[in-house]
Amino acid sequence: MRFRVASEIIYDVHSPSTIILNIHALRTPTQTVLEETFQIEPYVKTKELNSANGENRLVQFETLENKHLHLSYQAVVDASHTLMDSHQLSDSPVMQLDASVVPYLFASRYCQSDKLGKLAYDKFGSFEGAYAKVVAITEWIYKNVDYLSGSTNSQTSAYDTVTQRTGVCRDFAHLGIALCRALSIPARYFTGYAHQLNPPDFHACFEAFIGGQWLIFDPTRLAPLNGLVKIATSFDAAHASIATIFGSITCTGMTVTCEALDPDFLPFNHQDLPTRALTLSGYLKISGE
Amino acid sequence: MRFRVASEIIYDVHSPSTIILNIHALRTPTQTVLEETFQIEPYVKTKELNSANGENRLVQFETLENKHLHLSYQAVVDASHTLMDSHQLSDSPVMQLDASVVPYLFASRYCQSDKLGKLAYDKFGSFEGAYAKVVAITEWIYKNVDYLSGSTNSQTSAYDTVTQRTGVCRDFAHLGIALCRALSIPARYFTGYAHQLNPPDFHACFEAFIGGQWLIFDPTRLAPLNGLVKIATSFDAAHASIATIFGSITCTGMTVTCEALDPDFLPFNHQDLPTRALTLSGYLKISGE
Amino acid sequence: MRFRVASEIIYDVHSPSTIILNIHALRTPTQTVLEETFQIEPYVKTKELNSANGENRLVQFETLENKHLHLSYQAVVDASHTLMDSHQLSDSPVMQLDASVVPYLFASRYCQSDKLGKLAYDKFGSFEGAYAKVVAITEWIYKNVDYLSGSTNSQTSAYDTVTQRTGVCRDFAHLGIALCRALSIPARYFTGYAHQLNPPDFHACFEAFIGGQWLIFDPTRLAPLNGLVKIATSFDAAHASIATIFGSITCTGMTVTCEALDPDFLPFNHQDLPTRALTLSGYLKISGE
Amino acid sequence: MRFRVASEIIYDVHSPSTIILNIHALRTPTQTVLEETFQIEPYVKTKELNSANGENRLVQFETLENKHLHLSYQAVVDASHTLMDSHQLSDSPVMQLDASVVPYLFASRYCQSDKLGKLAYDKFGSFEGAYAKVVAITEWIYKNVDYLSGSTNSQTSAYDTVTQRTGVCRDFAHLGIALCRALSIPARYFTGYAHQLNPPDFHACFEAFIGGQWLIFDPTRLAPLNGLVKIATSFDAAHASIATIFGSITCTGMTVTCEALDPDFLPFNHQDLPTRALTLSGYLKISGE
């Protein structure tokens, strides 16, 4: 399925600064970037960082002060979401996880799974199998946490959200990840472009590793799962900010768009999850397991 | 310099469990494992995880319940610590960091650098150059935080330690890392065996990335820097536990030893740092930059 | 109903110190201290503080260093618990609260009701009337929080317990108080002696203000409600420590006992609460409202 | 010294609500309210709460929904600030504190003195005498914490501010209180009208109990100490909100003024503190100690 994605960001630069940008569509065996342009006006030289594990495509640049920068990114991306029968997904015991997956069992800045163990087991431990557990986690978050812009800030973590129960997509994702890890299910943060997201913005949800696959879950239910274009996966938002800024910069404008180019795009929504699961990571195909 | 390191751990296993063990001396271009034995009595089959980025050598195994396990690890390791003139260390601006180093700028579970920015700049921002900053951070921790066994627990983070000012090696390391990252200096957790550590135990300190090198700093001053044998580096202790246990297991005994085999071992202590820096990571030699 | 209560505390005093002790049975219109002895061996002069609002009977004393102090308190107390039909308890709207009750609506050190508002409304808001709400809160805590000695420390607060879900009587009480206040129901900490508490110790539970009365609730269910002898009520444990110590002192021993002197004492347990409520404060009788 | 104080608050009421208002100038032996008017347009019946300990003059009222309320308060107040030679202030040992002062030694919602003990002793323990310690605390806060509107929220506590080091008057006061209590110096929150405060607003600072007196300290240095008119004292802001609202209400406007009526008002600023202390509580005169 092809998507046209775009983002524009306007920065007022007050001091000499370095920016690490995380807005490029990821290139993976199951997500192909067909066309892509990225420019900064006025021109600034950039450098792409190639992450060892293929989790993101960071772009770095430096800028002098007193600049008004206009960044624009556009791409056409072919994202191959795979649907599968969820009943065929066996659990992935810790002993079978390989070294690239194990770190996603551990607590991170915004996902303090070490503090959520008892709550996670009490609420979700009785569901049979990892897939049912993560579906239950995702539904619980959807039902108990209110989506409310401005209710949280950059320091809000899963430990807050589990009690305060308001937040934005980032907070929903962090709580989902923390609860999965508390149940020994590897989970990671997913940030991307989302078709039909309203209002349009960068989106965040999460992936859980079940049956040898990284499956996508979105507790916000704000966009179809098969309308996601991946920018990055990471431990949590601390490792996947849209922009990490070293210096004094104000963001004065941002627009994000994502549009399915196939006229007969058929949304696959979260409500369909209990029986069918979705992946955009294609782990199986890569490793040949 | 050659070291003989050893650790013994005794577990009482109450339920079928999986253990991820993180006690093996790391193999790197600057640290060679000359001899090594690892056994579990009674015999249990184990699996070594090869981390993509060479940060650790995790060993996994499963065990049934009602077992009394005796783990013993012994190795002879040649660790090539390199001393250098600290005045030759130029800073490593963010723009020059490669993709393997950038993630160590970000906040993690126990190192909430995002909350420590102002304090770090106020206290250490005026020191000239990254090396002087990290030396100042390390000395400040040494002088202001009391080493006190039992004063902290597995949830204690740098945000606590910066105010409560007691802790163990792990807490000292977390605070050092968080303050470095708050100043845009990449920093990571180091866990290892330590010669002359008293009482003997696994040790933790931290590395900061300066002048293209991962340099070792130890705010506890409890062991010579050139007496360290590396087990792992990681974002923080959440990613470098000695043992991550999935199941019900009690640790009923542990001994750790580390001994320099060279009779004329000359300790290089933290007090010598202002003019000379020490690395065990040999980054420059690997990358040829 | 008469009770014989007693406590012995042994202190090793390492530096000149001041102690504020909070172990004396409170004197109120509904709790009469019939006999009482308090001694410190070797002799130390003490001073009783008469709290303006009658919430406690603090005893202060100073001691020199290198002392081994043996404190012993004994009393016979007549505590008049009143049972009432819970269906007759009307709510106490904020507008009807008088100035002595209003402060128990506010957040305190261990009872961060300001952070628990949404959770409290979601879980308990639909119960009809304040009494049913507090019964539901008390049952929820009993069912979801595990009583586990040593699982918490002096910094653990309701915000932790609502997620971590283990604790001791103090933590159970703090969570109950915080949830009540989050629903605009005044609530306060209750510390006392408890008949049939096993193992014997000082006990903590809470009172909520409903229908013009301070009613007792105990989410631990560890002792009969009509077996409680009041030491103090307060905002939370920060204002009702058994002993507040200014100096360096180690507690090397403590025994607490509480015994109903009436041979036909009939325990009134928490399970009986839905239909009958219990007070030891006798607010109505005092104020004549 | 006479002051004219006034405040106007405009509320949009969305649901039937109860409001507890805390804006009336306190009546004490050293602060006389000479004239006073308070009205709500359209008319709403109000009730004044007489606090047992004279810490505030709360006014309660109920309102129906769909109202647009205009509250206006005006008063002429004679506030008798007393200056004294700070060298004559002896310490107030815990043993000499009476029951009305002891509670201000304890931790509260926003002033977690229990967590700040070591830091407080390390930084301020070596100053001779309680007065010098509190002056040092006040100066340290002034120098290390940035006054920055909007940098904190209603959940920010002293434990945050001691590290994050930005805040508003409320945060400055909380940190001062917490550090005093950590050193066993009673301290309480002060909220009031402040002459020459710019921009005009309600103000917060703190009082510490030294030499038998409640002395005023203001780490913000934003207003003369002898230009303060007291509204309330309390454990912290949890007990002294300008308005505690039970219901759904939006504040759509607020103005606050305070003006010295004596043309030769001579400001006494915080910089003058080391040698002269100031009280508005007149404790000595009341108790005759």
Quickly tell me which residue has 């409310």 as its tokens.
A148
Are residues A119 and C163, on separate chains, in Cβ contact within 8 Å?
yes
Are A143 and A279 found together in one domain? Answer: yes
CA nearest to A7, candidates A39, A42, A47: A39
Does residue B285 surpass a pLDDT of 70? no
d(CA D262, CA A160): 51
The last residue of one of the domains, among A39, A63, A79, is A79
pLDDT at position A155 is 95
Q: Is residue A160 part of a domain?
A: yes
The last residue of one of the domains, among A45, A79, A113, is A79
d(CA C181, CA D64): 23
Q: For residue A47, give the CATH number of its domain.
A: 2.60.40.2250
Q: List CB contacts (< 8 A) between B174 and chain D.
A: none
The last residue of one of the domains, among B16, B47, B79, is B79
- For chain B, the C-alpha Rg in angstroms (whole number) is 19
pLDDT at position B281 is 87
Q: For residue D157, give the CATH number of its domain.
A: 3.10.620.30
Are residues D95 and C62, on separate chains, in Cβ contact within 8 Å?
yes
Are residues D146 and B119, on separate chains, in Cβ contact within 8 Å?
no
Angle formed at CA A195 by CA A190 and CA A199, multiple of 5 degrees: 95
d(CA A106, CA B93): 29
Burial A158-169 (b: 16+ CB within 10 A, else e): bbbbbbbbbbbb
Q: List CB contacts (< 8 A) between B122 and chain D.
A: 144, 165
For the question of an ipTM over 0.90, the answer is: yes
As to burial, measured by CB atoms within 10 angstroms (0-12 exposed, 13-18 middle, 19+ buried), residue D191 is: buried
pLDDT at position D282 is 67
Are A142 and A187 found together in one domain? Answer: yes
Are A199 and A57 found together in one domain? Answer: no
**Which tokens is B176 given?**
């050092």
pLDDT at position C53 is 77
Q: Is A163 helix (H, G, I), strand (E, B) or coil?
A: helix
Q: Is residue A102 part of a domain?
A: yes
Nearest CB partner across the interface for B115, out of D116, D144, D164? D164
Q: Is residue B243 part of a domain?
A: no
As to burial, measured by CB atoms within 10 angstroms (0-12 exposed, 13-18 middle, 19+ buried), residue B108 is: buried
Are B64 and B168 found together in one domain? Answer: no
Give the DSSP letter string of D23-35. Answer: -SPPPBTTEEEEE
Q: What region does D56 belong to: left with phi over 0, alpha with psi -120 to 50, or beta?
A: beta
As to burial, measured by CB atoms within 10 angstroms (0-12 exposed, 13-18 middle, 19+ buried), residue C32 is: middle
Please report the sign of the dihedral spanned by the C-alpha atoms of residue B190, residue B193, residue B196, residue B198: positive
Q: Is residue D180 part of a domain?
A: yes
pLDDT at position D274 is 79
Q: Chains touching chain D at 3 or more Cβ pairs under 8 angstroms? A: B, C
Give the DSSP letter string of A33-101. Answer: EEEEEEEEES---EEEEE-TTSS-EEEEEEE-SSEEEEEEEEEEEEE--EEEEGGG-----GGG--TTT
Are B150 and B232 found together in one domain? Answer: yes
Note whether D5 and D231 are within 8 A (CB): no
Encode pLDDT of B197-231 as tens digits: 999 999 999 999 999 999 999 999 999 999 999 99
CA nearest to C19, candidates D93, D128, D177: D93
Are B104 and B73 found together in one domain? Answer: no
Does residue B272 surpass a pLDDT of 60? yes
Does residue B34 surpass a pLDDT of 80? yes
Are A30 and A95 found together in one domain? Answer: no
Are residues C155 and D114, on separate chains, in Cβ contact within 8 Å?
yes
Nearest CB partner across the interface for D95, out of C18, C50, C155? C18
Are residues B122 and D165, on separate chains, in Cβ contact within 8 Å?
yes
Displacement of CA C40 from its chain's centroid (Å): 25
d(CA D221, CA D196): 11
Mean pLDDT of chain C: 94
Which residue numbers of D have CB closer than 8 Å to B's CBs? Answer: 115-116, 118-119, 122, 144, 146, 159, 162-166
Q: How many CB atoms lie within 10 A of CB D245?
A: 16
Q: Which domain holds residue A197?
A: 82-236+267-287
Are A167 and A44 found together in one domain? Answer: no
Q: Please tell me the least confidently modeled range out of A241-245, B70-74, B274-278, C52-56.
A: C52-56
Note whether B208 and B134 are within 8 A (CB): yes
What is the mean pLDDT, run by run of 10 residues, along chain A of 289 residues? Answer: 97 96 95 97 93 87 94 97 91 92 97 97 96 97 96 96 97 98 98 96 98 96 96 96 95 97 91 86 47
Residue of C nearest to D61 (CA): C95
Residues with pLDDT less than 70, chain D = 52, 282-289
d(CA D248, CA B166): 44
Nearest CB partner across the interface for D163, out of B119, B146, B166? B119
Q: How many CB atoms lie within 10 A of CB D199?
A: 7
d(CA A129, CA D225): 65
Q: Is D288 helix (H, G, I), strand (E, B) or coil?
A: coil
* Contacts (Cβ under 8 Å, ≥6 apart) of D200: D255, D256, D257, D258
Query: How many structural domains compose chain C?
Result: 1
Are residues C102 and D18, on separate chains, in Cβ contact within 8 Å?
no
Are A72 and A120 found together in one domain? Answer: no
Per-residue pLDDT, averaged over C198-221, amounts to: 96
CA atoms within 13 A on the CB side of C193: 28
Q: Is C238 helix (H, G, I), strand (E, B) or coil?
A: helix
CA nearest to C51, candidates D101, D103, D99: D99
* Contacts (Cβ under 8 Å, ≥6 apart) of B196: B223, B224, B227, B267
Encode pLDDT of B143-183 as tens digits: 999 999 999 999 999 999 999 999 999 999 999 999 999 99
Note whether D236 and D109 are within 8 A (CB): yes
Query: Helices (H) and strands (E) in chain A — how many of each?
Result: 5, 16
Q: Is residue C18 part of a domain?
A: no
Q: Chains touching chain A at 3 or more Cβ pairs under 8 angstroms? A: B, C
Q: Is residue D23 part of a domain?
A: no
Work out how many CB contacts closer than 8 A connect C with D. Answer: 87
CA atoms within 13 A on the CB side of A21: 23
Burial C150-186 (b: 16+ CB within 10 A, else e): ebbeeebbbbbbbbbbbbbbbbbbbbbbbbbbbbbbb
pLDDT at position D284 is 44
Q: How many CB atoms lie within 10 A of CB A199?
A: 7
Are A104 and A136 found together in one domain? Answer: yes
Q: Is residue B250 part of a domain?
A: no
User: What confidence tier does B282 reach under pLDDT thresholds 50, 70, 90?
Assistant: low
Are B59 and B115 found together in one domain? Answer: no
User: What confidence tier does C142 reach under pLDDT thresholds 50, 70, 90?
Assistant: very high
Q: Is residue B208 part of a domain?
A: yes
Are residues D95 and C53, on separate chains, in Cβ contact within 8 Å?
no
Are residues C159 and A163, on separate chains, in Cβ contact within 8 Å?
yes
d(CA B134, CA B136): 5
Are B149 and B59 found together in one domain? Answer: no
